[in-house]
Structure 1
């Protein structure tokens, strides 16, 4: 079994180290073939597309705020078209916008499902990206993400955030088999380590069993892997170590 697109990089990981042109040059040189975009890159999509073409990179997935899509959907879809984005992903809700009970999360799920229908009608895929707060247990024993995903929404699973919430990624992959469209490839440090990097680790240096998780993700339907670190002190170091692991999992290195 193979991941169809194993070598994508969430360029948000490099946001503290501008300019974007140098970020793209670096990740392309390391061997990444695609990036995942985020909000700052939609202001001038034509210019961004020129940079992607310059470094032979694609952008099959992009992160978009739900509020931004609801207020300026056509502008963001146009940016996605220019950049070649195939799947638009909502990755976050500001704390003030999060629900506190089942009814509230169901209402958010309904908003997401409405947006799903609208963007799918224009030829895009649509998905949710989890953190840890959306795994919170609610008053009826359900979790917020169950109401977020509803019956149709695809899921880009951030395996490390899921594990940090205390949940079992393998169980959720089984439960949502066929709806996991992709994964974020990141690792958790041991307790007390890497606190200046939010407790994350470079892939292969943390505690997550990625050899087994990789296989399980593919079995669950994931077709793209996006390397990400929320707060690296050195994104080049992270990118190199992530690529080394990805090449092993993708079968390029025995």
Structure 2
């Protein structure tokens, strides 16, 4: 059965001030795993100590490619790889790409070339490389989505998909259908729910609906359900607790 994890970017305001305390708080809430987005100057040994004390698994780290300075991508990515290796994180994920509002096939080819280059470097280091989708990745270019091009042109052994169900819904697509389409290549799923005016809300309090997604995930090889949220009615901590409760009530955490 898939495990539930917390995307630490959800607690970014806390993490920037105290990443070690934020990790500890995730464990105290009852999350068994976390996904990183930056380490905020903390030493590997410090993070390892907190993870061990809290019994937390570090499943992945988001690494934002500097799209304005691609010539230095290899050096920057090497530093991220080194940190992940020391910490025992098995996956590095690029969380976004600056696609134009109406991308053409040249934009798609450029994206693929950069993602493939990064994927080759990460895989050569013995880690897995993933891509996290946004609405823009589901725009049609010559009758196919950008995401389709990316997943079909880059081999599965080099690239997996971290599917964000909230952005899938925002793009007018069906979350369960996308999970089925990329079955075997979606070890991680971002659970994002949408409330009033399609702003982020706690999992289960919005309009996305996850029942069919859970059914597809069970046969698609999904390993982690990752809670994520960027807009809050109360505090990020309270939202993280409420979303975890949703999974607990379903017997999934």
Q: Where do residues 11-90 of structure 1 align in structure 2 (5 Å cutoff)?
A: 11-17=8-14, 18-41=17-40, 44-67=43-66, 69-90=73-94
Distance 1:95 1:135, change over 3 A: closer
Contact 1:130 1:156 in 2 (8 A): yes
Contact 1:132 1:162 in 2 (8 A): yes
Could you tell me how far apart the structure 2 residues matched to 1:63 and 1:204 are? 25
Contact 2:99 2:107 in 1 (8 A): no
Aligned to 2:69: none
Q: CA-to-partner distance for each residue in 1:114-136, whole Å, 9 max, x for gaps?
A: 22222112211111001111111
Q: How much does 1:12 deviate?
A: 0.5
Aligned to 2:212: 212
Contact 1:128 1:154 in 2 (8 A): yes
Could you tell me how far apart the structure 1 residues matched to 2:170 and 2:130 are? 21
SS of residue matched to 1:128: strand
SS of residue matched to 2:140: coil
SS of residue matched to 2:144: coil
Q: How much does 1:171 deviate?
A: 1.9
Q: How much does 1:184 deviate?
A: 0.7
Aligned to 2:243: 242
Q: How much does 1:40 deviate?
A: 4.5
Q: Structure 1: state its 5+ residue gaps.
A: 194-198
Could you tell me how far apart the structure 1 residues matched to 2:74 and 2:185 are? 23
Distance 1:160 1:207, change over 3 A: same
Aligned to 2:97: 93
Q: CA-to-partner distance for each residue in 1:169-197, whole Å, 9 max, x for gaps?
A: 2222222121112101221114x37xxxx
Relative to the length of structure 2, the TM-score reads: 0.85
Aligned to 1:183: 189
Distance 1:16 1:164, change over 3 A: same
Aligned to 1:228: 228
Moved more, 112-121 or 222-231: 112-121
Could you tell me how far apart the structure 1 residues matched to 2:249 and 2:39 are? 32
- 2:114 corresponds to 1:111: yes
Q: How much does 1:250 deviate?
A: 4.4
- 2:143 corresponds to 1:141: yes
Contact 1:35 1:57 in 2 (8 A): yes
Q: 2:133 aligns with which of 127, 130, 134?
A: 130
Aligned to 1:196: none
Moved over 6 A (4+): none
Could you tell me how far apart the structure 1 residues matched to 2:82 and 2:218 are? 30
Contact 2:195 2:207 in 1 (8 A): yes
Q: How much does 1:46 deviate?
A: 3.5
Relative to the length of structure 1, the TM-score reads: 0.85
Q: How much does 1:251 deviate?
A: 4.3
- 2:153 corresponds to 1:156: no
Could you tell me how far apart the structure 1 residues matched to 2:42 and 2:171 are? 33
How many residue pairs end up in the alignment?
Answer: 241
